[in-house]
Amino acid sequence: MSDIKKAKSDKFRDDTGFKEKCLLDRRSFLKWLWIALGGIIVCELFWLVYTMIRPDAATRTQEEKKILALGQATQYQSGTVTAVPAGKLYLARTVEGGFLAMGRECTHLGCTIYWDKMEQRFNCPCHGSAFALNGGVIKSPATRPLDLYHVFIENGIVKVDLGQRSRRSDVNNSQAVFI
Amino acid sequence: MKFILHLHPPQLPVEACHFRRTFGLGGSALVLFVLLLMTGMLELFVYDPTVAEAYPSVQQLQQMSLGRWVRNIHYLSAQLIVVVSFLHLLRVFLTGGYSGVRRGNWWIGLVVLFVLLCSAFTGYLLPWDQLSFWAVTICSKMFEYVPLIGAGLQQLLFSGSEVGPATLHNFYILHTIFLPGTITVLLVFHFWFVRKARGVILPQSHAGQPEVRSKVPSYPDLVFREAAVALNLCALVLILAVFIDAPLGLPANPGMSPNPVKAPWYYLGVQELLIHFQPLVAIVIAPCCAALFLFLLPMTRLKDHEAGRWFVSRRGLSGAVIAFAIALLSVPALIILNSVVPFPFFPAWIGHYLLPLGGTAILIGGAVLFMRRMAKMTQAEIVLVLFVFFATTVVILTITGIFFRGAEMALVLPSWMAL
């Protein structure tokens, strides 16, 4: 019995190849276990912090379900732009008569644009970008057209779904909604 | 008295006490940090971190008998600490105090600087006036240009894609608890590592000779000097705060952008780049390269006789002066050229990405090759030249953004310069 023990411990001590042959002995296994457990704790900590500081999901979805009714479609003239402060957007009616609802944030760095009636374009006061009535870029530094909200017409009334906002890379006629 | 011995050794070399060894920059940053903590805590008694009450509470603070002064001290210290920390980084770099045993401390210092900038940025929003609201808005939109993680990061940091009540709340917690706490913990290690490295870096006395330095007791020789710097700085800030008012614009109005909108001044270098380059280059690639460069700096091999000497060597000094001069002439010239001749005369991806990035890479590579082969400079000297060039560029871009950008970010002469 004691011989066996001695032989084992001798092997442990003398045979230098032992450690390499055996992928994990008890000590290094426990060491790695501790490191892994520590890693898991750190991950959990980050997860905990994340759940606390992320934007509150409940209030956000509530807001996004909002649908704005903007009155009779016929009251809007072709080639005009109407500000809708309640939805933070502009409702534009193209020359062809299609409706576009566009976010009022400049796509460059998010400043609030205004509609310049004289020049017939949206101007950004911060960094000088300009957009056409259909939202297309006519002056950089902005690189992409204004974001679109989903517009639909129900019983002759223009409605905008504030929950459905999309980016677009170019401007075309199919984006406008007709009566 | 005993407490000081935690920070300083009982005795230290005479040279380590000289003002011109460090210019007292690290200590000054600490003094400003303490001033910020103290005034910040006072401001908390009045400030109300809600969208409806934030602005009125700052107004109320301004009307209290010494409230305006306290706010001014906080404001001035915040501006100064960014400048002083940058100068501290320059000093440490230019005296070669970033390699060897000091490597770890260089990295800690970088993290402190980063957290400090975050702290300044989160504090910028709190008055909730037009200036702060729009500056933070455009910075939040910059995240949208970061590929893959940008939108998620923006959601997390700003609590949504718009700057709103949740953002204010987040920033308030970060600014008053998280970030100052983080800085405090990091500073403890920052100071401890200075002690472990045996104080500030000193040049080798004489090559080959054994180290014989005359030593002086740290009290009073060093402590009195430190106290002199600290008290002078405090006096300067407190007096300036009587005369210089922290700005407070109109209350934030998400429906009305002012013209122009600028980021906080320490980020204006990036915003200036954004005028000249594509968002991906200006917001992601350039800052990441700069951060990587700073992070990898301690890997430079410094020879023993190079460490602790200002500008490495005489050749290093001349290289640094040349790099400074080149940056000083070429960067403003390029900025003006770009405002006259707009960039896109090439297909988009060439003009936007290949030309600026490839061109820069070739220029840097060529310069490095020249310095190694023709000028036979050492690694430390080459790194010094590159660093001086980039640091000068950053400073010029920032100054341009602060003073020479007017309405719609067009190039203008500032009013105090116009004839």
Confidence bin at A58 (pLDDT 50/70/90): very low
The answer to whether B257 contacts A109, with C-beta atoms less than 8 Å apart, is no
DSSP code of residue B374: T
Smallest Cβ distance to B140: which of A110, A125, A128?
A: A110
> Which residues does chain B have within 8 Å of residue A53's beta carbon, measured at their own beta carbons?
156, 159, 170
- Enumerate residues 126 to 165 of chain B having a beta carbon within 8 A of any beta carbon in chain A: 134, 137-138, 140-142, 155-156, 159-160
> Which residues does chain A have within 8 Å of residue B259's beta carbon, measured at their own beta carbons?
125-126
The answer to whether the bond into A141 is cis (omega within 30° of 0) is yes
Smallest Cα distance from B32 to chain A, Å: 29
The answer to whether A50 contacts B254, with C-beta atoms less than 8 Å apart, is no
pLDDT value at position B328?
Answer: 96
Q: What's the complex ipTM? A: 0.75
Q: In whole angstroms, how far apart are CA B56 and each of B46, B51, B291, B363? A: 10, 10, 39, 53
Q: How far, in Å, CA of A82 to CA of A93, rounded?
A: 9
Residue-wise burial string across A59-79, b where 16 or more C-beta atoms lie within 10 A, e elsewhere: ebeeeeeeebebeebeebeee
The answer to whether A141 contacts B156, with C-beta atoms less than 8 Å apart, is no
pLDDT value at position A25?
Answer: 83
Cα B125 from chain centre: 19
Consecutive 10-residue averages of pLDDT for chain B (419 residues): 80 86 93 97 94 95 92 96 96 91 95 96 95 92 88 84 88 95 96 90 67 80 92 96 93 87 90 85 91 94 84 92 95 87 62 82 93 89 95 95 86 76
Q: How far, in Å, CA of B6 to CA of B26, rounded?
A: 17
- pLDDT tens column, A22-43: 667 888 899 999 999 999 999 9
The answer to whether B259 contacts A109, with C-beta atoms less than 8 Å apart, is no
Q: How far, in Å, CA of A143 to CA of B143, rounded?
A: 15
The answer to whether the CB of B215 falls within 8 A of the CB of B14 is yes
The answer to whether the CB of B308 falls within 8 A of the CB of B97 is yes
Confidence bin at A1 (pLDDT 50/70/90): very low
Confidence bin at A67 (pLDDT 50/70/90): confident
pLDDT value at position A168?
Answer: 87
Joined tokens for residue B362: 């070739």
Confidence bin at A65 (pLDDT 50/70/90): low
Cα A57 from chain centre: 14
Nearest to B94 by CA among B324, B366, B397: B324
pLDDT value at position A149?
Answer: 92
> Which residues does chain A have within 8 Å of residue B257's beta carbon, measured at their own beta carbons?
111-113, 124-126
Residue-wise burial string across B156-174, b where 16 or more C-beta atoms lie within 10 A, e elsewhere: bbbbbbbbeebbbebbbeb
Q: Which residues contact A17 (CB under 8 A, 6 or more apart)?
A: none
